[in-house]
Amino acid sequence: MSKLNSPIQPELEKLVDREGLHDVLDALSTICYEKADHIRTTLRDIELARLWIHTARLLDTLTEKVEL
């Protein structure tokens, strides 16, 4: 479960209010894919890259479910 009153929560809420949950999730997914690519090419850590890809795919699934 997430922490209550996380320091980034107010900023995330403003972002979701301004851009919409769908767009925020989509952007997070893109960031995860980019991190995976960076890790794969610079650190050559395939397992860590796979974790980022897995997270991106989960976010993709959520993004599809949040279609408004």
pLDDT tens digits for range 13-66: 999 999 999 999 999 999 999 999 999 999 999 999 999 999 999 999 999 999
pTM here is: 0.87
In the structure, what pLDDT confidence band is assigned to residue 68 with cuts at 50, 70 and 90? low
The answer to whether position 46 is within a domain reads yes
In Å, how far are 10, 32, 51 from 3, measured between CA atoms?
Answer: 13, 21, 22
The answer to whether position 21 is within a domain reads yes
Parent domain of 24: 17-65
The answer to whether position 3 is within a domain reads no
The answer to whether position 38 is within a domain reads yes
In whole angstroms, give the CA distance from residue 4 to residue 65.
25
3-state secondary structure 17-65: HHHCHHHHHHHHHHHHHHHHHHHHHHHCCHHHHHHHHHHHHHHHHHHHH
The answer to whether position 6 is within a domain reads no
In whole angstroms, give the CA distance from residue 27 to residue 22.
9
Structure tokens given for 43:
């650190």
Give yes or no for residue 11 having a pLDDT over 70.
Answer: yes
Average pLDDT on 3-20 reads: 91
Give yes or no for residue 5 having a pLDDT over 80.
Answer: no
